[in-house]
Chain A
């Protein structure tokens, strides 16, 4: 929408005089006002449902506030941050979260790219291929996680009996983490593939043909032509998946419940906030996760130059 507006009003034909220019900017002003008015309800609702909870949790994070001891509530400044940041449980969870995020996103990117290429190139039964690829993404994560859990449980599961040789893999740290990563990859690779396929559609066939004419082989065409053109799409896909993977909760909750030191930061927060009813410590953790997510987004957008969602040029170059 906004692109269309800038396109029309932003490039006035050079012949126009100053008067016309003023008229246009006046019209632009009116348009802006109307735009703001139209946005206002949405902004107010967003502020109420998103802005206020954020401010409130920052406020809570500065207090000793435990629902179990309502009479002990007091302002403690940054004490909670000191407690959380000096806790080995928090850093273990952070470490586990980072490992899960990096490993699963990297594998997803590779597999997603392969899937995207296959879907893009498929000539026969394209609909079938795309649909069947997307099925894992369409299954509710918790449901899928339960089937993974049963599959890996000795006695009930075929994977435990065949691959793991009857060992309870989910009761040991490293094997359990591998299963979690596997479940994540299985679940979200289709999403990655879908975003990458949208990027593939941007690569003009003419470019590839021209490169082929110049003697570029398939690998060169992929790395020198496709990937640079697709870069915005790849970065957006990576950004989305990294933020998503960093907040991993459901798969872990069902698969291990956080035992054997397999807790993620979201699970530690849940344990403190919902199970422990400690609003102070729990809110501190959610603020820290919020900051971590903001840092990831900052790195992607400012340093890697990812087009922030909504500010991309819709494929025009």
Chain B
């Protein structure tokens, strides 16, 4: 009954599924094909090729998912709902684990596969792959935002939000660029910012089980900080429309002294040597002077529940995320590894000078709310917080609590 329901529910994707199943079976040589679905990552085919050389009795085929996270998730969930056997391994955003695990669409890592994944992997990324105490994913890469600043304008980077706003304000009074760039557009980036602030303030969005919306007083404090920033004189006028790349371009354009962004901005800045010379990084600013709890991003590999080659799929995952693969991806694609020893590799020093800061931030990092309804939770948060300048801390918190609870109970309507 359940299976039939899913199949009918996904009737719209029948054609898509049919073609992909055909493609999956079309290996021709009669050997086992492991179909891996991942976002278009530039050097990934080389990693696949190397794993194919090592593979015993199967061949990995890399299928590219859409570039944007929403598109990736949509394609994956539609095919999983239709119980597509043509997908074996999938690269999942860290926020999707709970949803797919709860629906029974991805396999749990047990036994040797589990111990292999847990061995030497950083705790926070590993935590994103867990749901209800079980391991459902193998962390491939992780990500945390840092504070980026211009060392020609700011000799010592600020430790807190208040200091940062104050410093920027002073710079502006002296007629120098003093803006702070961040992501305030109505999308996941705003949720990342909010989650970092709430966790840094010691607050909670959802309870431990992800079944109850909490949004406590500390979360109200976080909303106050966001509101203060969004209405200060150091916020970029386009803050409420800015995603990661918009912020980067504004910083490179010379308008800003500070930026909160992912480490990819370092590689991008190297194309402008005179800018890169003064482009420095520091740990993310906190709210009260202690460590900030920065939201962790990244990607985990999961094995589909509908694969017919379970053993080979887990084997393929262990090669695709091996220390060697992660080092290759870090150097060529700039994505931070999840295996701690990779950071100590001497080859990492040049392309990854900020690796210490990343490693340090990762140790205090926070995970976004863990619930099967994450997509709904995220949509509700970004809708209610947008634009950030209109936040009324207490009222906004009440509205968040109410609408988040509806989303968790599958009662509410998604905007």
Residue positions of A touching B, CB distance < 8 A: 53, 56, 60, 64-70, 72, 83-84, 87, 89-90, 168, 171, 258-260, 263, 268, 271-272, 274-281
Contact = CB atoms under 8 A, between A and B. Distances in A.
B9 A68 contact: no
Interface in B250-288: none
Interface string B47-83: 0000000000000000000000010011001100100
B15 interface: no
6 contacts: A70-B104, A87-B412, A90-B413, A259-B186, A274-B78, A281-B410
A83 B372 contact: no
List of 7 A-B pairs having minimum Cβ-Cβ separation, nearest first: A66-B410, A87-B413, A68-B372, A171-B241, A89-B415, A276-B414, A271-B414
B211 to A, nearest CB: 10
Given A67-B77, A83-B411, A87-B413, 19 more contacts: A60-B9, A64-B411, A65-B5, A67-B9, A67-B81, A67-B103, A68-B102, A68-B373, A68-B410, A70-B103, A87-B412, A90-B413, A171-B241, A271-B379, A272-B413, A275-B375, A276-B376, A281-B410, A281-B413
A278 B372 contact: no
A275 B241 CA distance: 22
Nearest to A84: B413
Judged by DSSP, the binding face of B is: helix
B99 A68 contact: yes
B11 interface: yes
A272 B2 CA distance: 20
Interface residues of B, number: 32
B134 interface: no
A171 to B, nearest CB: 5
A151 B187 CA distance: 23
A278 B410 contact: yes
B78 A68 contact: no
B8 interface: yes
Contacts of B375: 275-277
Interface in B158-194: 185-187
Interface string B383-415: 000000000000000000000000000111111
A37 B316 CA distance: 56
B363 interface: no
A89 B413 contact: yes
Contacts of B70: 275
Contacts of A280: 410
Contacts of B2: 70
Interface string B366-385: 00000011011001000000
B129 to A, nearest CB: 18
B6 interface: yes
Contacts of B74: 274-275
Contacts of B412: 83, 87
